[in-house]
Structure 1
C-alpha cells in the first residue's frame, strides 16, 4: 500500500510558526528502501519557512520517519511527551520488535537537545497556545501525541500514527506496529472526540490527503495541502 510522509506547518494570525514532526533524511531512505522527495527543511522552504528561525517543533513520536530531521532546526524547542522520551531511551529499545522503527542517531540528537534545554517535556494533554493543544494517545508508541488545532474555521486533528490511514480507524484495522493495542483502539475514539462532529482528522501517512484537500498553491500541487 502506498505511504506518504508528512510534515505540518501551523501558523497563527501573529505569524508564530509551529512545525509538526521532522520527516527523515537520505540515510534512512537508503537503509529502509524509501523514496525521499525532499527533506522537512526543503519542503518548508517552499512555504517560505526558514528552518533556522523555527522556534517550536512538535514531535508526535520518535520513529525514524518523524524524528529524522531534528538537526534541520538548530534553534527550535522540541515538544515531546515524557513517556516517549522514556520509551525511546529505556529497556524496550533492547528488543528489536520495538527498536527497529527508531534510529539511534535521532534519539541521541533529541537527548542532546535535552541537555541544551531545548526540549519541552509534557506529561499528558497540554495547551500550547490558544486553539493549539497536544493530546497523549499512545498505542503506536508509548508516548505518541496528536495535535488539535482550532483554525477559526473549524477543528483539525493531526492524528500522526494514531491512525496511519483513514481506513485504520474507519474500518477498525490497526496498523501493525503497535506498543499497546487497547490504547490504539481507544485512541480512535479520542480522535473523534477531539475533532467533534464537524472537525477533520488527518491520518499520518494516507496518500488520500492529496485528493481530499486543496493544494496550498497551484505551484505546490502534489507537494503541500491546506487543511484549514
Structure 2
C-alpha cells in the first residue's frame, strides 16, 4: 500500500551566470540566468530520506559557486541531523549532488549501478567528461560500497511504498529521478534530468551532458512519471523558490514545501 510524504527543497547555493551558459547552442536572449543548488528531503511518520548531499565548501569555492547556507545548517533548520539519517538517494555523483557524503555516516546510499560504472571507468580519463565529478567524492562512495552502505539500482526501483527511483540518464550516464506520492499526487524530483523549467518545456539541453538524445527523451519520461507538468520539480531553477511556499517564516528563502500545489502556495 502506498504512503504519503512531505517533500522539501532546501536551497544551499547559487551561481549567477548568463543564459548562454545554460543551453547547448547558447541563448538568443543572453541575459542573466542564475541557477540555484538544492538538496531535498522526503519524510513521513515512518522514515526520512535525504535526496542528494550538495557540494562541500571547498569544492564550491574552487568552482566559484556561492554557498548561501551550508548543507548541515539547512538540514538542521528542518530538524534533521546527518548522523540520524538511514537513507540517502544519490541522483548522480556530480560534485554538487554527491559531496558531503561523510555527513551521513549511518546511511545507506541508493544509486544507479551504471553511475558507479561511469564515474570509475574509462570515460573519467577525459577532462571533458570528468570535470563535473570530484575524485574525493567518488572515492568516498567507493569506500561506502566496501562497507556495505550502498544499494545499487538497475533501472526503476521502488525503495519504499510511495517512493521510487527511475533511471533517466542523459546529463549523466546513471542519472535517476525520484517519484514520491504526496497529498497533491505524485511529485517528480527531476534533479538534473531538467535543470530548469525552460529545459523540459522547450526541449533544450544543459551543456554538461553525456547524451543529448537521452536527455531529450528523458523529458518525456518526467512527464510520464509526473502526469502533470506542475508536479515536476527541476533540479536548479530559482523559480522553485517562488512557486512554492516556505516551510515556515524562519526558513523563508531557504526551504519550500513541494507537496502542495503551486497555486495554493
TM-score by length of 2: 0.84
1:128 corresponds in structure 2 to: 159
2:35 corresponds in structure 1 to: 3
1:12 corresponds in structure 2 to: 44
* Mapped contact 2:85–2:104 kept (Cα < 8 A): yes
In 2, Cα distance between the equivalents of 1:136 and 1:148?
11
- Give the 4+ runs in structure 1 shifted more than 4 A: none
- Number of aligned residue pairs: 227
The correspondence for 2:200, drawn from 160, 164, 169, is 169
Post-superposition shift, 1:155?
Answer: 1.2
CA pair 198-181 structure 1, distance change in 2 beyond 3 A: closer
In 1, Cα distance between the equivalents of 2:140 and 2:70?
17
In 2, Cα distance between the equivalents of 1:153 and 1:12?
15
Per-residue CA distance 1:188-222 (angstroms, 9 max, x = gap): 00000000137500001000001100001111110
The correspondence for 2:77, drawn from 32, 37, 46, is 46
TM-score by length of 1: 0.97
The answer as to 2:190 corresponding to 1:190 is: no
**Unpaired segments of 5 or more residues in structure 2?**
1-32, 260-265
**Unpaired segments of 5 or more residues in structure 1?**
none
2:117 corresponds in structure 1 to: 86
Which runs of structure 2 are paired with 1:11-160 in the superposition (5 Å)? Answer: 11-14=43-46, 16-160=47-191
In 2, Cα distance between the equivalents of 1:59 and 1:26?
19
* Mapped contact 2:172–2:210 kept (Cα < 8 A): yes
Q: More deviation in 215-224 or 147-156?
A: 147-156
